[in-house]
Structure 1
């Protein structure tokens, strides 16, 4: 007779789904947040949006936010399903049959199969998110382009995941007590490597980059860059208008891999002064070493995460391993357990991470005001950003708590208004 544990997975999945759907419904139906700024104030959405545009932005934001919480719970249920249905054990068996003596080969086969299975199960929800973006005019991507980007993401994620799983498997097998510490130590150079190679290796896989064609604007941006001691002699524009109507610009990379990038949508929708302000903000992250602080935060956060995983992973495997066909803690079929713990811990820690990120973003806004002396252009750029990206200027607190890595649009405009009055 099966023990009670064998029947626990289904009710746990149902509780997760009901909980995530409940939060999603609450977020979707939340009408408690109101426009908090006075009429006529530049931070008031109705000063730069029509009532219909504001309603549309709210509707879009609520749908996307609700889908985020629903998707989070669905992802956890998918991982539990892969375990409980024995799919993970079957993928392990297939990998060991193909590569009987090569641990790296086994990990490669398992990871490829696992990534394909999870991607296929979650694809309908991902597709619906894309449909929402298209229907609201935020995305211009064709179905073919969307599938192409997802295929690239699948390939990149799989290639980057294989060495991580392989190292964790080796450390668990060779050092059962201290595997998490070794894993943390290895994660430090891996994280730094990803930060360095992303601008020059990963990003070009998705989009076409070319030097900025507007020479006058390029000169203005590079003058700011030289003030900020950013080691870059070029500015890149990327063809994003075929995918989205949203605006963006960024400075990423470290040292020789640093890249100053503008989306072509930003070039089309903002004037030069507004673009210069946005670039001043992005360079503020570099000047104030937010990338390095972010790296340090990631290192510290990873230490806490792998320790918590080490404490819980072994207990879960011992408790439910028999019913999930997991033979021991360094069994490949236990991978979804580790990924589930990573996802849950990441979600639980997101409010703290978002709070720190919002502090960085406010600091970068302050730097942009300092170097451009033009807060009015910043106000106009944020207003256009909200209108074109359908960003809710005043989101519900729970959404800001779990999702917002930037201050709200209204908060950012209010700050710039204060700086403008001081001039």
Structure 2
């Protein structure tokens, strides 16, 4: 029976992979509508033939890896359950210690290690393709170091979450999910607060922007938008990637405006200012607060559904999995599997909200800078640096894109006719 269900799961995964491969490589239409050919939206106007070819190849590979990654994670959780591996990990942890926190730490270490080993080939393939297409500039030792940092950071944060979660399960048999939901919001805000000063510096060096003249221009924009920013930070990303990025991170006194050094090297001041105005648009329109509110609602529904599904699955399959109750820590893969499936299922909605907010930030940026040419050049340069598709397939857009497509963003810039002085 176990072997049969295992083979079915693996066959289903490979069948899904074949379907997505055929869709992405043969069926999906990524061409530009005829009405936009020859315009600034058309990639042939700002990419050469080789860049066009590489963009299509890399985007297809990257999109395929994206769609294969979540089901691969689900397959891992299912296999450790059906083969009784999770139960074995709990047994080993129980033999080492009866103290629940230490028992949890030992169990989670074995599960995290198994997950790391199982998913490592997938991560390595992604890294190799990124290097092959010159998106990543990171040497293997540096990449491996980041992977190990990821492992321990994830392990530390997961240990806290799992310890609290299963303590709540033992204390509140039926309403543990509600208690977990109440605690999840302050925990998420706390993580947002420490991210810029504790976690991010583990991966990269952050320092004040070296170009003080550009920093003055950025802070002038921030002052105009009533954003309490005193410094702009630069991060050394050129040793890892050729991609471009900038962002605002953190909350409260730990908020930071951050620019990748690749962005500073490859974009002119006007383009950088447009990007900064975009990030400021998120602050002005209070997108972080809407995000917290949305997370609060979705996590409430998600944890409730997870509790119901966990009880049903463990009651039905627990004997086969050697998991007696959801309060057993060996049920953790059931929890993680359920959460992962729910996150994937709801991603079209969360991505739609994100795309709307990003479009609003784009609108704010063009209204603030009044520099249409710089805005168009920025998106064209972002496309070139990331080898992105201007018009990605529909399924890729709804499941993967938290930003509008480049076709939508450049088109909006070209169609913008506002004049801030006239409006005033």
- TM category (shorter chain) comes to over 0.9
Task: Say which is worse superposed, 43-52 or 284-293, in terms of deviation.
Answer: 43-52
Q: Hey, what's the Cα distance between the residues in 1 that align with 2:416 and 2:391?
A: 21
C-alpha distance 182-21 of structure 1, shift in aligned 2 (>3 A): farther
CA RMSD of superposed structures (Å): 1.5
User: What is aligned with 2:111?
Assistant: 114
User: What is aligned with 1:169?
Assistant: 166
C-alpha distance 158-21 of structure 1, shift in aligned 2 (>3 A): farther
User: What is aligned with 1:387?
Assistant: 384
Secondary structure, counterpart of 1:250 in structure 2: strand
**C-alpha displacement at 1:142, in angstroms?**
0.6
| 1:319 and 2:319 matched | no
User: What is aligned with 1:371?
Assistant: 368
**C-alpha displacement at 1:227, in angstroms?**
2.2
Matches within 5 A, 1:148-297: 148-297=145-294
User: What is aligned with 1:62?
Assistant: 60
Secondary structure, counterpart of 1:241 in structure 2: coil
- TM-score with structure 2 length normalisation? 0.96
User: What is aligned with 1:405?
Assistant: 402
CA contact (8 A) 1:17 1:70 kept: no
- Partner deviation per Cα, 1:363-410 (whole Å, 9 max, x = no partner): 000110121111210100100010111011110011001100001111
Secondary structure, counterpart of 2:138 in structure 1: coil
Secondary structure, counterpart of 2:180 in structure 1: helix
**Structure 2: 5+ residue runs without aligned partners?**
none
**C-alpha displacement at 1:361, in angstroms?**
0.2
| 1:16 and 2:13 matched | yes
Q: Hey, what's the Cα distance between the residues in 1 that align with 2:128 and 2:165?
A: 37
Task: Say which is worse superposed, 292-301 or 353-362, in terms of deviation.
Answer: 292-301
Secondary structure, counterpart of 1:322 in structure 2: helix
| 1:418 and 2:419 matched | no
- Partner deviation per Cα, 1:155-195 (whole Å, 9 max, x = no partner): 11111111111122112112111011001001011111111
Task: Say which is worse superposed, 368-377 or 330-339, in terms of deviation.
Answer: 368-377
- Partner deviation per Cα, 1:259-314 (whole Å, 9 max, x = no partner): 00000000000000000000000111111111111111111111111011011111
Q: Hey, what's the Cα distance between the residues in 2 that align with 1:192 and 1:421?
A: 37
**C-alpha displacement at 1:9, in angstroms?**
4.2
Runs of 4+ in 1 over 6 A off after TM superposition: none
| 1:93 and 2:58 matched | no
Secondary structure, counterpart of 1:321 in structure 2: helix
Task: Say which is worse superposed, 215-224 or 36-45, in terms of deviation.
Answer: 36-45
C-alpha distance 5-31 of structure 1, shift in aligned 2 (>3 A): closer
**C-alpha displacement at 1:26, in angstroms?**
1.6
CA contact (8 A) 2:367 2:418 kept: no
CA contact (8 A) 2:367 2:419 kept: no
Task: Say which is worse superposed, 35-44 or 350-359, in terms of deviation.
Answer: 35-44
User: What is aligned with 1:33?
Assistant: 30
Q: Hey, what's the Cα distance between the residues in 2 that align with 1:228 and 1:323?
A: 59
CA contact (8 A) 1:43 1:410 kept: yes
- TM-score with structure 1 length normalisation? 0.96
Matches within 5 A, 1:41-52: 41-52=39-50
**C-alpha displacement at 1:111, in angstroms?**
1.1
Q: Hey, what's the Cα distance between the residues in 1 that align with 2:80 and 2:28?
A: 37
CA contact (8 A) 2:391 2:405 kept: yes
Task: Say which is worse superposed, 325-334 or 126-135, in terms of deviation.
Answer: 325-334
**Structure 1: 5+ residue runs without aligned partners?**
none
**C-alpha displacement at 1:5, in angstroms?**
7.6
Q: Hey, what's the Cα distance between the residues in 2 that align with 1:227 and 1:335?
A: 49
- Partner deviation per Cα, 1:22-77 (whole Å, 9 max, x = no partner): 22332233342311253321111111112321121111000000011112211111
Secondary structure, counterpart of 1:8 in structure 2: helix
Secondary structure, counterpart of 1:78 in structure 2: helix
User: Which of 299, 302, 305 is equivalent to 1:302?
Assistant: 299
CA contact (8 A) 2:2 2:83 kept: no
